[in-house]
Structure 1
């Protein structure tokens, strides 16, 4: 230190000033270089972190979905399918993966693959609101509302049914029991929970929204079997599953026909009268044999003038027969 001080005394003030300036410049240069190194290092670290962040993001559920959407927009269906399937593998309960994969199938006109996708999804995740919402939204957007009820009808999750209550179309309820055989004209009423309309057919055809809208009770007045098929369509235009029931009406068989005059011995020709109830036709024989539909039909005029055993039966349009009435007429000279 002493030596340096002595040397400084030996230098002129100008030389000292220059030396100090030069030393300061050297220090500033080192600081600037160190600063540049630090900044470059920070930039590299930030870039590395950003790159890592991008890599991590691209591998997240949302990142994979967004990549799939871009591939779909670009028309790269194979890549889109791969990415959306990957998203589903990451989280099988979220709706975006299913919804976008189904749209990818739709764009390729492969709707059966979308059906298979949702059938498997609701089987694998029966309590997932996201899975069911994806199916419902897809079928609504693709005008396939008839496919919603088959899926929702199998759902047993209260959470799902509550969350998607607007999309649940309840089955129509029939007031009559199809297991019972009725012996008189019946009045059938149809009802369903929720707001909407019921549509039905009685000609055996499949009910649609173009079928007869239920407004008044259905009169079942024909003897035999009548098949009623009905659906309920809720306010969102979603049809329920079909309910199909067959009702049977068997009117009581008429008693044995009333035939007059009664059995007896007569001295002159008889005009025989047979009382025929509505819905029946009377057939008769005069040779003692049992009458059938192939026998003589009673038309309101029957004259007997010789010994005769008259047998009469009533037959309805369904071929059901009454008991046979027998009258024996004898004539004396």
Structure 2
């Protein structure tokens, strides 16, 4: 009878072990033992088997991704985790597996990417330390601005914003954002920026191009008009607010290096007068030309 009881208990234990070995956890642990024993091929098969049993748990993904990493097969680890995220977009375990692997292998840019594509609020909340949202821009890049603009970059989370203005990629070596950016150049300015959270994870880059076109003043009003005169004339130029007038008397094109107009001046010999208006941004108007001829 005692022998029978022993055999019965042994059978029960054996069945229990067999059942356990075929559970998700049992298969993962077999894989870990195989890997520890140097049989990575068997370990890979067991991890894949565990994933087939339950594709929403993290242990098998983490173990298999690390196995691939140890073999210098990061491309396979990437494929495994990206497919898992795409297949189970609402699984916290899958996202946690990807985040853990990429953090351990210092591939934080990939954490930023997968978290930026996540739409599950529960996952975003549970893994909030790994979320690096793109910085907010205060200006609309669909508009064309006619004057200098001040651009503010911001984030609701604690961290640092980095940006570039020369069209190059924004990285942690770029300019750190500390104060509003002055957009004071006419034409297009491309601002590229990233946000880096407390954990050192950078957001995906956001890029906006702003266009500024300063208004062009009409050609300046100059009196008197072109003509032939018998005596010296007093020349006056109408200068709108925000502009400075410059002129030449030798027929050349005027610039901000030419004579600055400060008030009426006399012309008493044959002269070709050219006048231009220039604003504070260096924007030039069309040139007004007057030709004065004097009879003896």
Provide the TM-score with structure 2 as the length reference.
Answer: 0.83
Q: 1-side partners of 2:15 and 2:99: how far apart?
A: 37
Q: Per the alignment, in what secondary structure is the counterpart of residue 136 of structure 1?
A: helix
**Over the residues paired in the alignment, what is the CA RMSD in angstroms?**
3.2
Partner deviation per Cα, 1:213-266 (whole Å, 9 max, x = no partner):
111111111111111111111111111111101111111213314556643433
Residue correspondences, number: 286
Report the counterpart of residue 263 of structure 2 in structure 1: none
- Asked whether the 8 Å contact 2:248–2:259 carries over to 1, the reply is no
- Asked whether the 8 Å contact 1:228–1:246 carries over to 2, the reply is yes
Report the counterpart of residue 217 of structure 1 in structure 2: 180
Report how far residue 331 of structure 1 moved. Answer: 1.8
Question: Does residue 106 of structure 1 match 2:69?
Answer: yes
Correspondence 1:242-261 to 2 at 5 A = 242-257=205-220, 259=222
Partner deviation per Cα, 1:61-104 (whole Å, 9 max, x = no partner):
11111111112222322111111111111111111111111111
Report the counterpart of residue 159 of structure 1 in structure 2: 122
Correspondence 1:30-69 to 2 at 5 A = 38-69=1-32
- Asked whether the 8 Å contact 1:263–1:328 carries over to 2, the reply is yes
Give unmatched runs, 5+ long, in structure 2. Answer: 261-266
Report the counterpart of residue 41 of structure 2 in structure 1: 78
Q: 2-side partners of 1:98 and 1:315: how far apart?
A: 66
* Cα separation, partners in 2 of 1:43 and 1:283, compared to 1, 3 Å: farther
Report the counterpart of residue 6 of structure 1 in structure 2: none
* Cα separation, partners in 2 of 1:51 and 1:204, compared to 1, 3 Å: same
Select the structure of larger CA radius of gyration: 1
Partner deviation per Cα, 1:154-206 (whole Å, 9 max, x = no partner):
21212212211221111100001111111111111011121111111112121
Report the counterpart of residue 135 of structure 2 in structure 1: 172
Question: Does residue 132 of structure 1 match 2:95?
Answer: yes
Q: Per the alignment, in what secondary structure is the counterpart of residue 118 of structure 2?
A: coil
Q: Per the alignment, in what secondary structure is the counterpart of residue 188 of structure 2?
A: strand
Of 151, 158, 172, which aligns to 1:188?
A: 151
The structure showing larger relative contact order (alpha-carbon pairs under 8 Å, at least 6 residues apart) is 2
Q: Per the alignment, in what secondary structure is the counterpart of residue 184 of structure 1?
A: coil
Q: Per the alignment, in what secondary structure is the counterpart of residue 68 of structure 1?
A: helix
Q: Which shifted more, 47-56 or 106-115?
A: 47-56
* Cα separation, partners in 2 of 1:279 and 1:130, compared to 1, 3 Å: farther
Q: 1-side partners of 2:59 and 2:245: how far apart?
A: 68
Give unmatched runs, 5+ long, in structure 1. Answer: 1-37, 287-294
Report the counterpart of residue 12 of structure 1 in structure 2: none
Question: Does residue 204 of structure 1 match 2:180?
Answer: no
Q: 1-side partners of 2:236 and 2:67: how far apart?
A: 80
Q: 2-side partners of 1:72 and 1:92: how far apart?
A: 20
Of 175, 188, 197, which aligns to 1:234?
A: 197
Q: 2-side partners of 1:284 and 1:68: how far apart?
A: 91
Q: 2-side partners of 1:74 and 1:272: how far apart?
A: 99
Report how far residue 41 of structure 1 moved. Answer: 2.7
Q: Per the alignment, in what secondary structure is the counterpart of residue 240 of structure 1?
A: coil
